[in-house]
Structure 1
Amino acid sequence: MVIELLAPAGSFQTLLAAVDAGADAVYFGLKEFSMRAFAKNFRIRDLPRVKRICSSNNVKMYLTLNTIVFDNEVEKLEKIVKKVKPYVDAIICWDFSVISLCKKYKIPFHISTQASVANSLSAKFFKKLGADRIVLARELNLKQIEKIAKIMDVECFAHGAMCMAISGRCFMSEHFYKRSANRGECVQLCRRSWKIIDEDGNELRLERSRLLSAKDLCTLPFIEKLKKLNVKALKIEGRNRSPEYVKTVVSVYREAIDRKLSQKEIQDGLLRLEKVYNRGFSSGFYLGLPTADDFSESRYGEQRERKEFVGKVLEVLRAKQAGRIYLNAGKIKAGDEVYLLGNRRSVQRTSVTWIEAGGKKLNEVSKGHEAIVGFGVSPFKNDEVYIIVKRNEVL
């Protein structure tokens, strides 16, 4: 069975990264009714361009309308569903108002993981209702997934952040800040450090351990087991993540889905995944119940690399694979690894090959100065330039 690799697209930059890395499909949200309200997301007028990008690369488009919907929003919701119909291959939802409208306008729909489908009877119900696919609850192990996958097409998460509440129905953000996680506005209180206070007022501050912050899911070490379960799609979480994150993660799982990797290749893949943002890795519920080792010790991530903005390409010298750059911050040196990030193509990881200013070759250029910088690939005008800083250099 061919497994679909489904990637997040929170912006045009991450959409281009996902497509370039080999995603079979992308899922994305609009400004309304999306569980990632703080992602850049798209407007309805963006969808023709999204469609052109996806269609030219044979990539499917799934729109997420997966929040709770209130009565005063139904009219707006229906207008959105009608307008997006020409562009999407399916809508990911769970509120019955959205399901009802999908059926009314004959749009395929997938049941969101927010519905917490965790048993065969529920799967049969949604299949009878007309769902084309179910994104299963994240609390399931491999055997439970295998059983439900015999009933209808299912989708499982393969990689990315896990909510402290697992399937996301958390009220901490709403309680403390009136920002509802169930409306896509979670402020991620669980990622912060906490104190334990007893009834006498004695305090214990937990300096390293973050008891409420789950590590990220990573199925690469056991992905062959997932591939044998007859799942229709494997999903990468991350509509709030960066283009380089999406490109790296999708690339790794593209290779793992297409063929069986050796142990060395799996270890190499894990090293690539560790370079981009992560909170440490866990197998989630797939291999058994999580333990204390499945909670993160870092609020700011355990990635091996981070990027620092230095400037923007003002002019392109294509014949020289170079660009005229004004340094807004920091400095850039010959030999630096960099990201070129723009809206015309996928994020590019490359190196600085040479620097020149005033007709002279330089080893580096710093903030407030302008220079011609050569790269391993040709930049585009307005590309943002970020140097890549290794973790040991940060520390």
Structure 2
Amino acid sequence: MDGSLDSGATLRRPELELLAPAGNFTCLTAALKAGADAVYFGADNFNMRSQSAFSDTDLPDITSQAHAAGAKAYLTVNTIVYEDERSVLDQLLPRAAEAGVDAIIAWDPAVLLAARQHGLPVMLSTQASVANTAALRFYHDSLGVNRAVLARECTLEQIRQIRTELDEAGLEHLELETFAHGAMCVAISGRCFMSYHQYGKSANRGECLQPCRREYSVSSKDGDLAFDLGRDYVMSPKDLCTLPFIEQLIEAGVHSYKIEGRNRNPEYVSLVTAAYRRVLDHCMSRPDAPDEAWEAQLDAIKTEEMERLHSVYHRGFSEGFYHGQPLNAWSESAGSSASRKKFHIGRVLNYYSKSGVAHVRVENQGLKAGAEVMVLGPTTGVVAFSCPEMRLEERVLTEAQPGEEITLPVPDKVRRNDTVYIRVER
């Protein structure tokens, strides 16, 4: 996938936003430390990722952490809302406004109208399937929407046309957001009824159990023939990855680049956010005149970051719909295709800031010097490093065994009860 621009192409230079998921406080910290410009998260109600939801009482802590890091905080209220739930909605939105939430991500008009009443900016969710300027102008003029997450089925050329039409209509302030990385759904803009039909758990209520990603056996009615559908799972798309051509999205006029993954782990959030942060920053440093050295450096950065992206959870990578319909872009197996996996090995007992050393209890398996270590915690986020050495009291060890308490140097502050992992090649 070659993302290079033609030498005569003009790279738009809006104030870009890298938007990262926060499914819990550890992921929130990981996203902010990795350089996210904004984070999005859900509360107990009206959240398309019901398993990754904060309590209403967490909202002040989330927004204060985001704002302290110079980032914005967006609350997703993007499920359908039934009539008997409007009173619950009227309780949630004032709390969001009081907590300082920067915007609400929604698509149900009940939410859009209620958010306006409480003085909350609204961003249109991809659930609305907006794919043209007429729809954008309708939501902008009638409901005050100033940003829309375009339908996932839009191509780069269609996005470019939408941006041009908006600019020519004097709507330069109406921002476009697209998904840059993460899981894709087999259904149009994620509106699927398969989970609800099978289990009574609706995808449109944030409860999808993803039956589409399983392996199935298909047999003839008379029982003579049977097939196991395993490799190339026919309803499980690969994950979206735009990093190889992200400058084309910039050129098309996209303002915000969303990373999917509120159900994924802090390691994924940290690494993916950092990868896109690095590439976006380099893209925005592009000189006005063609520069071969800059292009070569961009290619080198992409190569390095793609290797890191391959190391964390993914189902294989696809360009999505950006360059046309993604034919045959199905995952090849269930679960992750990551090149590395992590194992829990212990817990932090203490941290000594003067010496930059962590006191760790090794619990589940041994730890060898030179191993790739990762520490995760709600306040720490993700701290990853290669373990150069470790000590048991004053004795230098090449390997620590379960049950031993050791000290090891860490590059950043960790905290008591943080979880310690090692990462190894599959």
Q: Report TM bin, short chain.
A: over 0.9
Please give the secondary structure, in 2, of the residue aligned with 1:262.
helix
1:287 aligned residue: 323
Deviation of the 1:378 alpha carbon: 4.7
Q: Distance in 2 between matches of 1:207 and 1:139?
A: 26
Give aligned pairs, total.
Answer: 389
Please give the secondary structure, in 2, of the residue aligned with 1:288.
coil
1:191 aligned residue: 213
Q: Distance in 1 between matches of 2:29 and 2:188?
A: 29
Q: Does 1:304 align with 2:339?
A: yes
Amino acid at match of 1:211: V
Deviation of the 1:230 alpha carbon: 1.4
2:288 aligned residue: none
* Contact 2:212 2:235 (8 Å CA) reproduced: yes
Deviation of the 1:377 alpha carbon: 4.2
2:146 aligned residue: 132
Q: Distance in 2 between matches of 1:85 and 1:21?
A: 26
Deviation of the 1:376 alpha carbon: 4.3
2:425 aligned residue: 390
* Contact 1:123 1:148 (8 Å CA) reproduced: no
With structure 2 as the length reference, what TM-score do the two structures score?
0.87
1:248 aligned residue: 271
What whole-Å deviation, never above 9, does each CA across 1:170-208 have from its counterpart, x for those lacking one?
Answer: 111111111111100111111111222233332101232
* Contact 1:353 1:376 (8 Å CA) reproduced: no
Deviation of the 1:110 alpha carbon: 0.6
Q: Distance in 1 between matches of 2:403 and 2:19?
A: 42
2:50 aligned residue: 37
Deviation of the 1:381 alpha carbon: 1.6
Deviation of the 1:374 alpha carbon: 3.7
With structure 1 as the length reference, what TM-score do the two structures score?
0.94
Amino acid at match of 1:97: A
Q: Distance in 2 between matches of 1:2 and 1:209?
A: 39
Amino acid at match of 2:320: G
Q: Distance in 2 between matches of 1:56 and 1:374?
A: 27
1:73 aligned residue: 85
* Contact 2:279 2:301 (8 Å CA) reproduced: no
Amino acid at match of 2:59: L
Q: Distance in 1 between matches of 2:188 and 2:425?
A: 31
Please give the secondary structure, in 2, of the residue aligned with 1:174.
helix
Runs (5+) with no aligned partner, structure 2: 1-13, 167-173, 284-296
1:226 aligned residue: 249
Q: Distance in 2 between matches of 1:331 and 1:338?
A: 12
Q: Does 1:264 align with 2:338?
A: no
Deviation of the 1:233 alpha carbon: 0.9
Amino acid at match of 2:318: S
Question: CA RMSD of the aligned region, Å?
Answer: 1.6
Q: Distance in 1 between matches of 2:263 and 2:91?
A: 26
What whole-Å deviation, never above 9, does each CA across 1:207-254 have from its counterpart, x for those lacking one?
Answer: 322111100111111111110111221111111111121111111111
What whole-Å deviation, never above 9, does each CA across 1:234-284 have from its counterpart, x for those lacking one?
Answer: 111111111121111111111222223522222222111111111111011
Deviation of the 1:301 alpha carbon: 1.1
Pick closer, same or farther for the CA change 1:258–1:109 going to 2, 3 Å.
Answer: same
Q: Distance in 1 between matches of 2:386 and 2:411?
A: 6
1:276 aligned residue: 312
Q: Distance in 2 between matches of 1:172 and 1:107?
A: 33
Please give the secondary structure, in 2, of the residue aligned with 1:97.
helix
Q: Of residues 404, 407, 412 in structure 2, which corresponds to 1:372?
A: 407
Amino acid at match of 1:132: N
Amino acid at match of 1:205: D
